[in-house]
Amino acid sequence: MSHPINGADSEDVRRQARSVVAALGLDGTPLAPGLVFSLLRAGFGVQTEALTGGVEVRACPEHYGRGSLLISWAPHEAAYTPLDPRVTQVEGIMTDALLNTVRALGFPAERLGVSYSVLVRPRSSDAPC
C-alpha cells in the first residue's frame, strides 16, 4: 500500500484542492493551491459556499497585499460580531490552533490582532500588516 501523501489518495486530494480553489475564485493566487491542499490533507474542510462548514479561505489584496490569504473558522461577516464571552474565548482558542496548524504545515502566518482570522502571506511579500 502506498503512502497516502504520495499515492492515489494524494491525487484525489490534489483534484479536490484544485476544485475548491476554483470554486473560491482563487485561481490567480499562487499560494492558494498549496495551502488548500495542505489543509485538506490535514483533515480540514474548506468552505466553498456559505455555511458549509470548515474553514473559510479568502483573498483580501486591498488590505494585506496581493497573494495573501485570510483563513478563519467563521465566515468573515460573523468573525467580527460581538458574541457571548464564553464563545469568544473558544473562538480565540480555535484561532490559535488554526494559526499553529498553518505554521506547522509550513506556511508563514500570523493572527490578525483580536480578530478570529489568520493571515497567510507568500514568503516574498513585503506588504504591511
The verdict on residue 1 lying in a domain is no
The verdict on residue 126 lying in a domain is no
The verdict on residue 12 lying in a domain is yes
The verdict on residue 26 lying in a domain is yes
The verdict on residue 2 lying in a domain is no
Give tens-digit pLDDT for 49-79: 876 778 999 998 898 999 999 999 866 565 5
CA distance 60 to 67: 9
The verdict on residue 127 lying in a domain is no
The verdict on residue 129 lying in a domain is no
Tell me how many domains the chain contains: 1
CA distance 11 to 37: 10
**At what angle are helices 8-23 and 31-41 packed, to 10 degrees?**
130
Give tens-digit pLDDT for 75-120: 656 555 666 777 778 888 889 999 999 999 999 999 988 778 999 9
The verdict on residue 3 lying in a domain is no
Q: Which residue has the cell 489584496?
A: 61
Full residue range of the structural domain in which residue 97 is found: 8-120
Instruction: Work out the average pLDDT over 23-35.
Output: 95
- For residues 21 and 33, the answer to whether their CB atoms sit within 8 Å is yes
